[in-house]
Structure 1
């Protein structure tokens, strides 16, 4: 039986994006299953998070993500537009968001179609790599979905037919995320043991090898 791990993942997290090439390679080269579990970013789950956090948090985040991308050799640019829109006057994140809810539900729909990892890899590259401008316009997302073997219009239609199902799936993932031992992303979990952050990937692989991980 193949080993498996949960990947709690957000479309707004730069570290989630920076992790993905290694996860994709791991799954391609080893007998292991990645269970993609889409969650909302902390700014949606906790709208005042960035008001309360020390300003150095955001400063370090920007410096570290660009440095990490350079170290890993991953193309990276903060996306325009940001997948989560902030009110610049209050630094709060309003409940009405034009992008993140659709993206998150699309991630769930792709996962249910059996292409979750391929979809989040393709879409996050479109959003975060800096290779396209205005990722939300034109056919950028449709092309990303096609690279994952999916049809964007079909995914959108499934969501429109039963949006409550996809919202509930995200809520279920967020409950499971906390039950795994952390609230942040990217979070990987194996048999209830959490590995938080892209810099814990090597420890995840180490643990999987202890559990019998085999190359394909």
Structure 2
């Protein structure tokens, strides 16, 4: 029987980007089913719980994400444009958000089609690898195609079927699992928060005897 791991993940999170190769390796190595469950970033989901006028936390995340990417041998650069329209001095979030709702909805539709992790891998590499203007031209379409999906079909689907109920259900499930940030992987009710906890998750799978492929 395949074991299920819920993967709570955000397109704005650098650590979510950094965990994607590890997720693919995990699925290749163990008989597990990764349930991709994209959530909106804290900046629009529960911004009062994270963003204040104190710059130290953001500065640390930037430093840490760059060095973590270097350690992992992954390309990394601050996204241009940022998936969230936000003043990073005041942390004020704009009312109009042209990117993150679409991206998260596309992630929901990719998950419905059984390719959520693949979509997350290719789209996050496009956004976070340092290439500017990820949103222009055919870049999103090509990254989506690399995941085995068609961007136009996904866009049509999220217009026809509102993804927000699924997104909100993912928010509730993340909270119910005791989580708040991403990436969070949940196996048998046990949360593993952070890109650097995927090795701990692998240890847990081995400890409980999840078969290898």
TM-score, normalised on structure 1? 0.94
For residue 184 of structure 1, the aligned residue among 165, 168, 181 is: 181
Residues of 1 paired with 2:51 and 2:40: CA distance?
18
Equivalence for 1:95: 95
Residues of 1 paired with 2:50 and 2:193: CA distance?
20
Greater shift after overlay, 90-99 or 59-68? 90-99
Gaps of 5+ in 2: none
Establish whether residue 110 from structure 1 lines up as the match of residue 110 from structure 2: yes
Equivalence for 1:200: 197
Residues of 1 paired with 2:35 and 2:49: CA distance?
27
SS at match of 1:194: strand
SS at match of 2:79: coil
Residues of 2 paired with 1:88 and 1:56: CA distance?
12
Residues of 2 paired with 1:51 and 1:12: CA distance?
14
TM-score, normalised on structure 2? 0.95
SS at match of 1:77: coil
Gaps of 5+ in 1: none
Greater shift after overlay, 148-157 or 45-54? 45-54
Equivalence for 1:42: 42
- Give the superposed CA RMSD: 1.4
Establish whether residue 72 from structure 1 lines up as the match of residue 95 from structure 2: no
Equivalence for 2:158: 159
> C-alpha displacement at 1:2, in angstroms?
1.3
Residues of 1 paired with 2:51 and 2:211: CA distance?
45
> C-alpha displacement at 1:179, in angstroms?
0.4
Confirm or deny: 8 A CA contact 2:42 2:50 kept in the other structure: no
> C-alpha displacement at 1:129, in angstroms?
1.0
Kindly tell me: are residues 50 and 206 of structure 1, through their superposed partners in 2, closer, same or farther at Cα, counting changes over 3 Å? closer
Residues matched between the structures, number: 213
Confirm or deny: 8 A CA contact 2:30 2:211 kept in the other structure: yes
Kindly tell me: are residues 89 and 198 of structure 1, through their superposed partners in 2, closer, same or farther at Cα, counting changes over 3 Å? closer
Confirm or deny: 8 A CA contact 1:48 1:92 kept in the other structure: no
Residues of 2 paired with 1:160 and 1:7: CA distance?
24
Once the two structures are superposed, residues 75-131 of structure 1 have per-residue CA deviations (whole angstroms, 9 ceiling, x without a partner) of: 11111000001135742112320100000000000000111111110100111112x
Confirm or deny: 8 A CA contact 1:50 1:92 kept in the other structure: no
Dislocated runs of 4+, deviation >4 Å? 48-51
